[in-house]
Amino acid sequence: MVVTLQLMVPTEVQEVAAVAQMLALLLLEELEQLVVITEVMLLLAVIIQLVAVAAQEQLVELHLVQLVELEA
């Protein structure tokens, strides 16, 4: 003889669980978008740093040219 046990879950609990699962999926999608936004912001920060370094190099070159002109 086989005895089967069925768990009776009230409809309200099933509905709450379904809504909770849907909210969890929406939150996951939002977090994925935030990760993409964060990666883009980090990339922009690196680009800005590269531009700043290039500008500093230009200033050093200009300063060296001015020093050479002053000595001449």
Q: What is the mean pLDDT of residues 33-60?
A: 98
Q: Is the pLDDT of residue 6 over 70?
A: no
- Supply the pLDDT for residue 63: 96
| Number of other residues whose CB lies within 10 A of the CB of residue 22 | 10
The contacts of residue 34 (CB under 8 Å, 6+ apart) are: none
Could you tell me the two tokens for 20? 């909770």
Q: For the chain, what are the domain ranges?
A: 46-72
- Supply the pLDDT for residue 14: 87
Could you tell me the two tokens for 40? 């883009």
